[in-house]
Structure 1
Amino acid sequence: MDIILIQDEKQINITNFCGNVTLGTSIDSLGANFKFDVARNITDKNFDIVETITPGDLINFENIFFGIIVKKETENHGIKISCLDFYFYLNKNKIIIQFKNFPASECIKQLLKKVGLETNDWAALNTSITKIYKDKTLAYIINDILVKVEQELSEKYFLELEGQKFNLIKYKKIKVKPLYNEFLNYSKEENIVELRNSVIVTSNNEDNIETIAKLENKNSQKKYGKLQEIIQIDPADVSKARNIASNTLKKLNKIHGEVSISVFGSHEIRSGRIIEMDNEEFLIKSCTHKYLKNQDIADLKLEKI
C-alpha cells in the first residue's frame, strides 16, 4: 500500500521508507488521523527525500486518506509523522454566521465553502435552521445542526470525507469479516449511565422557562429510577417540541452497550458507520487500522443501537 508525499504538487512515493502505519477515526474527534514512522540514514543519499518532509506537506495513502502533515518528530534513526485529514480546517476555523430559515444541508455546504472545501454526495436535509453562531468552530456548528436534524427526523446523518471532498450522508450499514473466523480481543460492556427515561423540552429563550413538552416512560422509571434530560429548542421550533421529545426519549431510554473487537479491515470500515453482528446493529464509535505486511487489521469500538 503506497504512501505518497506531495510537495508543491510534486508527488513522491515514500512507502519503502515507512513503517508502523496506522489510520484512526472517531465520532468524538471528527476526521481521521494518519500516523507512520520514517527511517533515517544521513549517510545514504537514497534517504535525502526523508529529510525534506515538513509540516504542511500533503499525504495521500491509497486514496483512503488524504490530508496534511501537522507534526514531525525527528529522532536519531527515524521520524514520526502525524497527519490529519481536511476536518483539520473544520476543527480549527472559527467564524461568525447567521442562518435564517435556511435548510440544514445548505447551511453545512455554505460552511464548507467558507474554508474552500468541496462537496460531493449530498443529502437534502430540509430541517430549518434559524440561529446566530459567534466565535464557534465550523465543526461545532455542523455538529449542532446535525443534532437538530436528528432530534426532528429521528435519523442520523453525518459528514464524511472521501478523498478531498465531503459527503453528507445517512449512517449506513456495512458487513465485516471476522479475523480468523472469530472476533479477537472481544469484550462487551453494558451500562445505564447515559439512560434517560424522562425528557423535557423548553425554549432557549432566557426570559421563558416554560415546559413546552414532556414525555416519560413509567416502566423504565420503575426499574431504573427517574433519569431526566432537558432539551432546549429555538422558539421557532415550538410546534415540533413533542416530536423532538419523542425522538429523544426513544434514543436515550435504553441500556447502552459498547463492544471492542478486531476484524479484517477495509476502507469501508470507519467511525460513523453501522455494522451488524449476531442480528444486532452497532455504531462504529472509533476505528484504528493497523497495516502489517499488507494486511489491514481494524480495532473497533462499537456502540449498540
Structure 2
Amino acid sequence: MAFEVRLKNKSISEYVGNLTFGTSEDTLGMEASFDVVYRGKEIANVGDVIQIFKDKTRFFWGRIIDIQKDGKNPRKVTCFDNAFYLNENEAIIQFKNIQADKAIEQLLDKYGISSRKITKLPYKIKKIYKGVKVSEIIKDILEQCSKVSGAKYFFEMQDKTFVVAKRGFYEIKKYFNVIMNPSVTESMKNMKTRVIVTNSDGESIKSFISLEDKNAIKKFGLLTKVEQIDDKEKSKAKKIAQELLKSLNKIEITASLSLLGSINIQANRVIALKENTTGIVGKYYIKSASHSVNAGTHIVSIEVGEFVG
C-alpha cells in the first residue's frame, strides 16, 4: 500500500516526506512535490529524473524543475511530467488543411513525442502558428473541433504517453459515498442566453446566425456570446450556435470535496458521487485533483462540475 519515490531509478523513499501530486483541466501535466532530507550533501538536483509508484504501479515519470533550499532544512522539490516541455516550447508550424488528429501528430513529431494515443478528431486545420506554445496550439485545435462537434476534448500525459480523448472516455469504476468537507456553488456568471455567430474578417460584419432562449432571457436576462468563424465555415454556423447555446445556457454547478485517496482520481475523469446533504449525487467531471500523503494517509481533494454525457 506504500508509495515509492525513485531518483535515477533508485529508491529515496526513506528520505522523502510530505508527498503531494495533482492534475487540473487547465494544465497539461501532473505536478508532484515532496520534501527530501539534507544530509550534508544534496540527494536531488534540478533536472534529475523522478518516478513515483503506488503498489509497484508507476503513475508519475518526470523531472525535478525547482528545488528550494533553506539552511539545513529539508529541501522542497517540485517536479513536472513530460508535459512541461509542451508548455515551455514555442513552435512555428503551418497546417495545410489536414485532419486535426494528424495535425497534432505532426506537431508532436517535431518534439520527439512518439508514444501517443489520439482519438480521431472531426475537423481539418488550415492555420499558421508562429511563436505559440505547443500546448496552446493543441488547445486551439481541440477548441476548433469542439465548436463543430459539440464534444469536449482534453489532452494529458499518461506516464510517457501523450493522450487526447473525449470528455467522459475515462470513468472511475467505483461509487464514492464517504465524502469529507463537501461544498457546492451554483452560479449564472458564465451563462449565455443568446449566441451570435459572425465572421472573423476584420473588414466587415456578417452575422451568420443568432439563436436565443426566450424563456431563459425572461428569467435571467439577456446574456450574449459572440462567436467568430471564418467565412469558409459558414455552413457550420447553425450547428456551432446550437452547441454553444446548449453548453452555455445553464446555471453552472461546481463542488469541492475530499475523499480517501486513489491514484486513479485525476482531472478529466468522470466520477460517481453520493452526498445527499449538499445534493452532490450522480456523475461528475473532475476539474482538478490534489493528492497529499502524510504518515501513510492518502487524501485527495477534488473540484468537480456536472457531467453531461
- Cα 1:156–1:119 shift into 2, 3 Å: farther
How many residue pairs end up in the alignment? 292
Q: Write the mapping of 1:1-305 to structure 2, written as runs, cut at 5 A.
A: 1-6=3-8, 11-42=9-40, 51-62=42-53, 63-75=58-70, 76-172=72-168, 173-176=171-174, 178=176, 181-278=177-274, 280-305=282-307
Deviation per residue, 1:98-135 (Å, 9 max, x gap): 11211111111222222112333221113111111122
Whether contact under 8 Å (2:198, 2:226) holds in the other structure is: yes
Secondary structure, in 3 states, of the residue corresponding to 1:2? strand
Quick check: 169-178 or 137-146, which moved more? 169-178
- Cα 1:24–1:81 shift into 2, 3 Å: same
User: Match of 1:273, as an amino acid?
Assistant: R
Whether contact under 8 Å (2:28, 2:156) holds in the other structure is: no
Structure 2, unaligned runs of 5 or more: 275-280
Secondary structure, in 3 states, of the residue corresponding to 1:118? coil
Structure-1-length-normalised TM-score:
0.91
Tell me the CA shift for residue 281 of structure 1.
2.9
Q: Distance in 1 between matches of 2:115 and 2:192?
A: 36
Taking only the aligned residue pairs, the percentage that are identical comes to 36
Q: Distance in 2 between matches of 1:25 and 1:118?
A: 23
Deviation per residue, 1:266-286 (Å, 9 max, x gap): 222111122233453322111
Tell me the CA shift for residue 257 of structure 1.
1.1
Tell me the CA shift for residue 153 of structure 1.
0.9
Q: Distance in 1 between matches of 2:175 and 2:14?
A: 29
Secondary structure, in 3 states, of the residue corresponding to 1:25? strand
Q: Distance in 1 between matches of 2:198 and 2:143?
A: 16
Q: CA RMSD in A?
A: 1.6
Tell me the CA shift for residue 163 of structure 1.
0.9
Q: Distance in 2 between matches of 1:142 and 1:60?
A: 26
Whether contact under 8 Å (2:267, 2:289) holds in the other structure is: yes
User: Match of 2:62, as an amino acid?
Assistant: G
Secondary structure, in 3 states, of the residue corresponding to 2:26? coil
Whether contact under 8 Å (1:184, 1:262) holds in the other structure is: yes
User: Match of 2:291, as an amino acid?
Assistant: H
Q: Distance in 1 between matches of 2:29 and 2:66?
A: 16
Q: Distance in 1 between matches of 2:44 and 2:120?
A: 41
Tell me the CA shift for residue 16 of structure 1.
0.6
Whether contact under 8 Å (2:179, 2:258) holds in the other structure is: yes
Secondary structure, in 3 states, of the residue corresponding to 2:47? coil
Structure 1, unaligned runs of 5 or more: 43-47
Runs of 4+ in 1 over 6 A off after TM superposition: none
Tell me the CA shift for residue 77 of structure 1.
2.4
Which residue is 2:278 aligned to? Answer: none
Whether contact under 8 Å (1:176, 1:264) holds in the other structure is: no
- Cα 1:235–1:132 shift into 2, 3 Å: farther
- Structure in which a larger fraction of residues adopt helix: 1
